[in-house]
Structure 1
Amino acid sequence: MKQKIFLYYLFLIITVVFVAGFLISELSQKYYKDELEKNLKNAAHLIQFQLAENKKIGIPIDYNKSAQQYASVLFPQDISKLSSDKNYFRVTFIDKNGKVIGESEKDYQSMDNHSNRKEVQEALKWNIGRDIRFSKDMKMDLLYIAVFLPSDGVITRVSVPLVQIDKINNIIMLYTGIGVLIALVLTTILAFRFSNMITKPVNELIKVTRDISEGNFSRRVNIKCDDEIEELANTFNSMAEKLELSIAEMNEKNIKFDSIINSMINGVVAVDNQFEVILINSVSCEMFGIKNGPGVIGMNMIELVRNNHINNLLKESIEKNEPYLTEVVIGPPDDKILRIYTSPIKTNTTEQLNAGGLATIYDITNLKKLEQIRTEFVSNVTHELKTPLTSIRGFIETLKSGAIDDKSVAVKFLDIIDIESERLSSLINDILQLSEIENKTKDSDISSHKINNTVKEIYDMIQGVASKKNVQLSFEVEENITITANKNRIKQMLINLIDNAIKYNIDGGTVYLKVFKTEGKINFIIKDSGIGIDEEHIHRIFERFYRVDKGRSRNMGGTGLGLSIVKHIVNLYNGNIKVTSKLGSGTEFIVQLPA
Structure 2
Amino acid sequence: MNKFRFRMLNALLIVMVITFIGVALLLENLLKSLYVNDYIEQLKREAAFVETLLHEKEWTTSHLPVLVRTLNNNQVGMVRIFLNDETMINEEGKQQKAPVELGELERLSNQKTLEKHLNNMQYTIPFTVEGEPAFLQFSLSKETVQNSYYKLRIVIFTCLSIGFIIIVIMSVRIMHRLTMPLADVTRVANELAHGNFNARTYDDQLDETGQLSESINVLARNLQEMTNSYKAQQNRLSTLIENMGSALILIDSKGYINLVNRTYKEMFKVNTSEWLNKIYYHVLSQKEIIKVIEETFMTEAQVHKQILITVNIERKHFDINSTPIIDNEGRLKGVVLVFHDITELKNLEQMRKDFVANVSHELRTPVTSLKGFAETLLDGAMEDETLRKQFLMIMLEESERLQRLIQDLLDLSKIEQKGIVLNWDVVDLKQNIEDVLVILKEKADNKELTVTFNVTGNPVILGDMYRLKQVFINLINNSITYTLKGRSIHIDLTEAEDTVIFKISDTGIGIPQEDIPRIFERFYRVDRARSRNSGGTGLGLAIVKHIVEAHEGKITVESELGNGTTFTIIFNKRKI
What's the TM-score, normalizing by structure 2? 0.58
* Larger Cα-atom Rg: 2
Q: Does 1:271 align with 2:251?
A: yes
Shift of 1:401: 1.1
- Equivalence for 1:329: 308
Map 1:468-507 → 2, pairs under 5 A: 468-507=446-485
Distance 1:439 1:308, change over 3 A: same
Aligned residue among 228, 234, 250 for 1:254: 234
Q: AA paired with 1:345?
A: I
Asked if the contact 1:443–1:486 (Cα under 8 Å) also holds between the matched residues in 2, the reply is: no
CA separation in 2, counterparts of 1:288 and 1:507? 47
Q: Contact 1:315/1:357 (CA < 8 Å) preserved in 2?
A: no
Residue 282 of structure 1 and its aligned partner are, at CA, apart by: 4.3
Specify the SS of the correspondent of 1:328.
strand
How far apart are the structure 2 equivalents of 1:332 and 1:448?
Answer: 46
Query: What CA distance in whole angstroms lies between the structure 2 residues aligned with 1:534 and 1:263?
Result: 38
Q: Is the partner of 2:339 in helix, strand or coil?
A: strand
Q: How does 1:174-213 map to 2 (within 5 A)?
A: none
- Matches of 2:279 and 2:202 in 1, distance apart? 45
Change in CA separation of 1:215 and 1:533 when aligned onto 2, cut-off 3 Å: same
RMSD: 4.1
1:494-524 deviation line (CA, Å, top 9, x unaligned): 1111112222334343322110122533211
Q: How does 1:310-329 map to 2 (within 5 A)?
A: 310-329=289-308
Amino acid of the residue matched to residue 545 of structure 1? Answer: F
1:253 is paired with a residue whose SS is helix
- 1:538 positional shift: 4.3
Distance, in Å, in 2 between the alignment partners of 1:584 and 1:365 is: 31
Distance 1:348 1:358 in 2: 17
CA distance in 2, matches of 1:531, 1:419: 26
Closer/same/farther in 2, CA of residues 215 and 514 from structure 1, 3 Å limit: farther
1:244 corresponds to: 224
- Determine if contact 1:288/1:305 at 8 Å carries over to the other structure: no
Tell me the amino acid that sits aligned with residue 367 of structure 1.
L
Match of 2:502 in 1: 524
Q: Share of identical aligned residues, percent?
A: 35
Mapped pair 1:577 → 2:555? yes
- CA 1:211–1:494 in 2, change beyond 3 Å: closer, same or farther? farther
**2:504, 2:568 within 8 Å by CA — same for their partners in 1?**
yes
Q: Is 1:341 aligned to residue 321 of structure 2?
A: yes
Q: Give 1:491 deviation, angstroms.
A: 1.2
Q: C-alpha distance in 2, partners of 1:443/1:414?
A: 38
Q: Residue 429 of structure 1 is aligned with which of 407, 410, 418?
A: 407
Mapped to 1, the partners of 2:236 and 2:485 lie a distance apart of 71
The CA deviation at 1:245 is: 3.4
Sort the Cα spacing of 1:583 and 1:306 in 2 relative to 1 into closer, same or farther, 3 A: closer
Confirm whether residue 509 of structure 1 aligns to residue 491 of structure 2.
Answer: no
Indicate the residue corresponding to 2:288 in structure 1: 309
Gap change, CA 1:258 and 1:538, over 3 Å in 2: closer
Q: Is the 8 A contact 1:449 1:487 kept in 2?
A: yes
For residues 247 and 562 of structure 2, the distance between their equivalents in structure 1, rounded to whole angstroms, comes to 49
| Superposed counterparts of 1:364-403, under 5 Å | 364-403=342-381
1:546 equivalent in alignment to 2:524: yes
Q: How far apart in 1 are the matches of 2:216 and 2:492?
A: 80
Counterpart residue number, 1:449: 427
Matched position secondary structure for 2:555: strand
CA 1:532 to 1:364, structure 2 compared with 1: closer, same or farther past 3 Å? closer
Deviations 1:277-315 (A, max 9, x none): 34555444443335688x766454335543232233223
Stretch of structure 1 that moved more, 386-395 or 456-465:
456-465
2:397 is aligned with 1:419: yes
Secondary structure in 2 matching 1:335: strand
Output the amino acid matched with 2:569. Answer: V
Structure 1 residues 534-576: Cα deviation after superposition (integer angstroms, max 9, x where no partner):
5565454434333344333333322222233323333444433
- Which runs of 5 or more residues in structure 1 are unaligned? 1-200, 225-229
Aligned residue identity for 1:449: V
SS in 2 for 1:542: coil
Is the 1:532–1:584 Cα contact (8 Å) retained in structure 2? yes
Letter in 1 for 2:329: T
Shift of 1:258: 4.2
Aligned equivalents of 2:495, 2:538: Cα separation in 1: 30
1: CA distance, partners of 2:194 / 2:444? 77
Q: Distance in 2 between matches of 1:516 and 1:369?
A: 37
Q: Which amino acid aligns with 1:348?
A: N
Check whether the contact 1:545–1:561 (CA below 8 A) recurs between aligned residues: yes
Q: Give per-residue Cα distances to partners, 1:335-363, cap 9 Å, x unaligned.
A: 3311112232122125x3x2122323322
**How far, CA to CA, are the matches of 1:537 and 1:281 in structure 2?**
34
Relative distance call for 1:433 and 1:327 in structure 2 (3 A) is same
Tell me the alpha carbon deviations over residues 75-122 of structure 1, each in whole angstroms, 9 at most, x when there is no partner. xxxxxxxxxxxxxxxxxxxxxxxxxxxxxxxxxxxxxxxxxxxxxxxx
Distance 1:486 1:303, change over 3 A: farther
Query: Structure 2 unaligned runs (5+)?
Result: 1-180, 205-209
Structure 1 residues 530 and 326: CA distance shift in structure 2, 3 A: closer
Q: Which residue of 1 aligns with 2:151?
A: none
Change (3 A) 1:262 1:491: same
Preserved CA contact (<8 Å) 1:340 1:359: yes
After superposition, what is the alpha-carbon deviation per residue over 1:38-73, rounded to whole angstroms, capped at 9, x for unaligned?
Answer: xxxxxxxxxxxxxxxxxxxxxxxxxxxxxxxxxxxx
Q: How is 1:23-422 mapped onto 2 (pairs within 5 angstroms)?
A: 217-220=197-200, 240-241=220-221, 243-258=223-238, 261=241, 264-289=244-269, 298-303=277-282, 305-330=284-309, 331-349=311-329, 352=331, 354-422=332-400
Cα pair 1:580 1:587 within 8 Å, conserved: yes
Q: How many angstroms apart in 2 are the aligned matches of 1:211 and 1:476?
A: 80
- Write the distance in 2 (CA, Å) between the matches of 1:214 and 1:415: 93
- Partner-residue secondary structure (3-state), 1:413: helix
Corresponding letter in the other structure for 1:325: H
Cα distance 1:275–1:446, how it changes in 2: closer, same or farther (>3 A)? farther
Instruction: Give 1:370 deviation, angstroms.
Output: 0.8
Q: TM-score, normalised by structure 1?
A: 0.57
Amino acid at match of 1:245: E
The 3 A distance-change label for structure 1 pair 355 and 469 is same
Q: Does 1:467 align with 2:448?
A: no
